[in-house]
Structure 1
């Protein structure tokens, strides 16, 4: 279709010949017929219906288009091929920034694992963010054996089974011009570019979408991209923990023990609980940077998806004020976020006779409370930053199959919340 279809909102029922339809057409105009409740889901669902009709260009027109409703329309209208074009009703500059950042995030997550190695992920993120503000961004990487030399044993351990080396990316966005300026926020992202489960091998049905296991890295990078584009004036450091979790003669094994830089020893009882192992290095690095607030994001546990489904991301933290900030930010940008239980005692939920802790329980799904237990493991490495540590378990960042709200692939849910927190 060469022309843009006008899309308008109306409270009127569809004309009789359209029956119970929520979308009707007249010439080059599509009307979304709204009911009384949950307008966001209605609009996003209507956008999916337009996509199903082959409409790929939309001009949002008329009254009622709040920025939030425009964004929900965009979420439903985009596809895994990133082929949608939208003309915004208003607030175009803000929405276009969000659109560009979200599409870059989706592009990263939807790439094949063959094309997106750990080094490729780190390089792409560094190149993109440096390009936004060349005089304000510096980055460095530890690759392969250099990780072990530097003491980043989690990333090295998880990634050593692959022929393509693991990487820790540190990116420093410092708009102040002061090399000694404090780091206001550190972002830590899980960047597992493919997750076979290692020797705790996943079945094919669970493995087929595991190119999305770097969704945490993409989400924090996308949020920083959006915040910089909007004029972020705070110093922020980004740490991406990148590896492929594969099976080989060099892969880490059940029963291995990793000893981290802070002296914490971890027994491996499940090689498919690898995300928390790489994030532990990122959290330690964030503390070394002296960050006032530390935020990590990861596609970490199936248990979080069982708890909150794929409409919400799960939030964990030991600092009530920080968690309140996150929930308020999510509400402001109309993204689903739900706080799940986390207390200090969760640190002892994965005991080991051979080490300070195990990386999970030797039970399917990590046993009861698996998401909280994983967060408890991370809390061992999170320190006590001045403004708290937040852990986002990204249940809603990827859609395994197309449905009434989303195309198959990355959704970008969580990016707006994190970008708002940076502001």
Structure 2
């Protein structure tokens, strides 16, 4: 329902300007500006007094129109109140796209107010709100620098998140990790002035199918004693992107009241450098009992995930899914926009890719190629945490994690980037959500609300 003060955003398919039913003056204006419905182009329409009468928005050819094409309007339009007019497509996806495109991170500087959208007729307002809120939560957390989001602050954020949604929350902090059986989380985080910890959130009916999400929560990664170069640290505030995206996904699940028993495990550490840092060639004993030789202290994310995955696997969930900003090799293989997906269930992997395509949240299945397990062999321990030879780094990281999953009916690992180097469809430049809509779409199909 559009308000009396909102201005129209008129959707125009490529070459279909005549169908927009414009006034003669506006049609002449569009022609004079060469507007034909080019995808992503926004053209302001003047009123007779020289003010703003609305906008034309080009959606491009119907055949290759992205589901969230309206995001391109939300990203560039100025402040104001707007409503859709014309062939905007599926109303829920159109509203979702526009609002995702309108996201701004203004914590540290004043910005322009975001545009306000009157929900189009037929749109699912609750679905739009939960997916936008989940994405914004992930983006805000990733964009926040480590001086304001170290382990203590992320811990408090997660506790507040749980309390606001009626989730039970338990935290194991500092040396208590050793007593509770999480030696690798402790080893990675013990060098920091802020203690390592594991956050354990639960929600839902215990009798419903168990779905467990694990998110890598490295609030900053120096690389440890195998220290990164300065250029390699510039984006390391985003190394908790797995945790951020898992929280965004959990928000959507709880908001939709899906019929599942949800558990969220987030190991939270800072991979810092001090006299207590873990070292290359150290041998750590994992929660599962496997011994791990440290080939590289900068391959720390898989260590904390391994302990958390082992805990999750102990209760044999129907689905165990982890998200992590794990390897640069994933970006070499597939670039920043397309996260690799690894799974022990090919049917589930195909469903996730299909759901991602439908919601402009792409994923791409990569192989769990067992022969590459040999790249992580160790002469002194069960496994090395860093593959040799520099080949297939994303695959070997996934294979490392697979060693800690035995009982889950299905396991999925998403090696996300969590960052948009430049603005793209439905994602502003900076910290970004990846995998939330794809995974939520499959869970909604499999475990619909009552």
How many residues align? The count is 405
- Correspondence list, 1:351-362, <5 A: 351-361=377-387
* C-alpha contact 2:220 2:270 (8 A) present in aligned 1: yes
How far residue 259 of structure 1 moved from its aligned partner, in angstroms, is 0.8
1:125 aligns with 2:155: no
How far residue 42 of structure 1 moved from its aligned partner, in angstroms, is 5.2
Which residue number corresponds to residue 81 of structure 1? 106
- Correspondence list, 1:217-296, <5 A: 217-296=243-322
Unaligned runs of 5+ in 1: none
1:24 aligns with 2:26: no
Which residue number corresponds to residue 415 of structure 2? 393
Please list the CA deviations of residues 253-296 of structure 1 after superposition, one character each: whole Å capped at 9, or x if unmatched. Answer: 11111111222111111111111111001100101233121000
* C-alpha contact 1:44 1:72 (8 A) present in aligned 2: yes
- Correspondence list, 1:142-157, <5 A: 142-157=172-187
Which has more radius of gyration? Answer: 2
1:170 aligns with 2:203: no
* C-alpha contact 1:347 1:380 (8 A) present in aligned 2: no
Which residue number corresponds to residue 75 of structure 2? 48
* C-alpha contact 1:296 1:390 (8 A) present in aligned 2: yes
Task: From 126, 136, 139, give the equivalent of 1:106.
Answer: 139
Q: Supply the RMSD in Å over aligned alpha carbons.
A: 2.2
Unaligned runs of 5+ in 2: 18-28, 46-51, 108-112, 445-450
Please list the CA deviations of residues 145-203 of structure 1 after superposition, one character each: whole Å capped at 9, or x if unmatched. Answer: 111111212211111110101110111112x2x5xx36511100000111111122222
Task: From 331, 338, 342, give the equivalent of 2:368.
Answer: 342
Please list the CA deviations of residues 56-80 of structure 1 after superposition, one character each: whole Å capped at 9, or x if unmatched. Answer: 3452411333232333333332222
TM-aligned CA distance change 1:287 to 1:403, over 3 Å: closer
TM-score by length of 1: 0.89
- Correspondence list, 1:292-307, <5 A: 292-307=318-333
* Cα distance between partner residues in 2 of 1:414 and 1:60: 28
Please list the CA deviations of residues 323-343 of structure 1 after superposition, one character each: whole Å capped at 9, or x if unmatched. Answer: 233223323433111001113
Please list the CA deviations of residues 23-47 of structure 1 after superposition, one character each: whole Å capped at 9, or x if unmatched. Answer: 2111241211222153237543444
- Correspondence list, 1:196-235, <5 A: 196-235=222-261
How far residue 85 of structure 1 moved from its aligned partner, in angstroms, is 4.0
* C-alpha contact 1:5 1:59 (8 A) present in aligned 2: yes
* C-alpha contact 1:165 1:243 (8 A) present in aligned 2: yes
TM-score by length of 2: 0.84
* Cα distance between partner residues in 2 of 1:290 and 1:361: 28
Which residue number corresponds to residue 447 of structure 2? none
* Cα distance between partner residues in 2 of 1:334 and 1:389: 23
* C-alpha contact 1:316 1:341 (8 A) present in aligned 2: yes
Q: What is the DSSP-based 3-state SS (H/G/I as helix, E as strand, rest coil) of the residue aligned with 2:85? A: coil
User: Bigger shift: 141-150 or 310-319?
Assistant: 310-319
- Correspondence list, 1:60-71, <5 A: 60-65=83-88, 66=90, 67-71=92-96
* C-alpha contact 2:43 2:56 (8 A) present in aligned 1: yes
TM-aligned CA distance change 1:154 to 1:28, over 3 Å: farther
